[in-house]
A = this chain, B = another copy of it.
Amino acid sequence: MKAFREELWFETRQRREFINITPQVIECLRESGIREGLCLVNAMHITSSCFVNDAESGLHADFEKWLEKLAPEKPYSQYAHNGAEDNADAHLKRTIMGREVVVAVTVGKLDLGPWEQIFYGEFDGKRRKRVLVKIIGE
Q: Which residues of A approach B to under 8 Å, CB–CB?
A: 1, 3, 5, 36-38, 40, 42-46, 51-54, 56-59, 61-63, 66, 70-71, 79-83, 88, 91-92, 95-104, 106, 111-116, 130, 132, 134, 136-138
Contact = CB atoms under 8 A, between A and B. Distances in A.
A42 B95 contact: no
A120 to B, nearest CB: 13
Contact of A134 (B38, B54, B62, B99): B38
Contact of A95 (B40, B53, B82): B53
Nearest to A113: B44
B66 A71 contact: yes
Q: How many copies, total?
A: 3
A88 B59 contact: yes
Given A102-B40, A137-B1, A115 B80 contact: no
Contact of A1 (B62, B103, B138): B138
